[in-house]
A and B are shown apart, each in its own frame.
Chain A
Amino acid sequence: GNSVTQMEGPVTLSEEAFLTINCTYTATGYPSLFWYVQYPGEGLQLLLKATKADDKGSNKGFEATYRKETTSFHLEKGSVQVSDSAVYFCALKASNTGKLIFGQGTTLQVKP
C-alpha cells in the first residue's frame, strides 16, 4: 500500500543553519507530493508541492525535489529562522484514489 516515512525528530538547529528533513514514500502509480507545516495550536498549512518527477516545489526559502528514482521528497532550507520552529509533515496523494496520506511529522526547533 501507499505510505510515507519521515526522519525522526526533534531536529534542533541554531538560527541560520542548513535544514534537511528526509522523506521517502511508497506508492503505486504517480502520486503528487506535499510538505505541510503545523504551528502550535493550529491546523496544517501547505508549504510546497510537486506533482511529477523532477519537479521542484519551493516557498518561503524551503525547497523539495520529487525524485522518482529514489522515491524521495526531502525538504531543505539554506538558513533557518526561529520562526520556522514547527512540525513538518510530508504527504502523498495517490493518483488512483485521491487519498491523502501523511508521514509521522518531524518537529523542528530553531534556537537563536
Chain B
Amino acid sequence: NAGVMQNPRHLVRRRGQEARLRCSPMKGHSHVYWYRQLPEEGLKFMVYLQKENIIDESGMPKERFSAEFPKEGPSILRIQQVVRGDSAAYFCASSPPERENTEAFFGQGTRLTVV
C-alpha cells in the first residue's frame, strides 16, 4: 500500500504563473488535507476535502487559491498568478472515511519556489 504521493517534489514558478500541486491519497482514503509550511514556521491549515466536496476551506486565501478532490484522480491545489510570498512547502495528508480516532498520513511535500 503506497503512501501519500505528492508531485512534484520541487516546483519553480515565475511570478504571475500558475502552480498546480498534486496529491494522491493512500488507497481507501477519502479525506484529504492541505497545509502550508513557511521556513522555520509551523503548519498552517488550508483546506479539508472529501471526494467531490470541500468540508472546510477556512484556511484558504480568498483569492488565487483553489482546491479540488474529484471522484477520480488526485487532489489538486491550484495557485494562480503566484507571488514571492507563495514560496513555501505544501503538504498533503489523507485519512480514512471515519472521522474519529484515525490519524492522517502525510506526503513528502511540494516545495514551491517563486522567482
Please give the residue numbers on chain A whose beta carbons come within 8 Å of chain B beta carbons, in ascending order.
32, 34, 36, 42-46, 49, 51, 89, 93, 95-105
Contacts and interface: CB of A to CB of B under 8 A. Distances in A.
Contacts, number: 66
B54 interface: no
B103 A49 contact: yes
Given A43-B108, A46-B103, A51-B101, A102 B42 contact: yes
A43 B106 contact: yes
B56 A97 contact: yes
Q: Which of B41, B93, B100, B109 has the most CB of A within 10 A?
A: B100
A89 B43 contact: yes
B100 to A, nearest CB: 5
A14 B109 CA distance: 31
Contacts of A49: 103
B104 interface: yes
Interface residues of B, number: 25
Interface string B36-47: 000001110100
Contacts of A93: 99-104
A99 B48 contact: yes
Contact of A100 (B33, B41, B42, B101): B33
Contacts of A45: 106
Nearest to B105: A46
A100 B94 CA distance: 11
Nearest to A103: B42
Given A43-B107, A44-B91, A51-B100, A104 B45 contact: no
Contacts of B108: 42-43
B48 A89 contact: no
Given A32-B101, A44-B106, A89 B55 contact: no
B93 A98 contact: no
Contacts of B43: 44, 89, 102, 105
Given A43-B91, A105-B42, A99 B103 contact: no
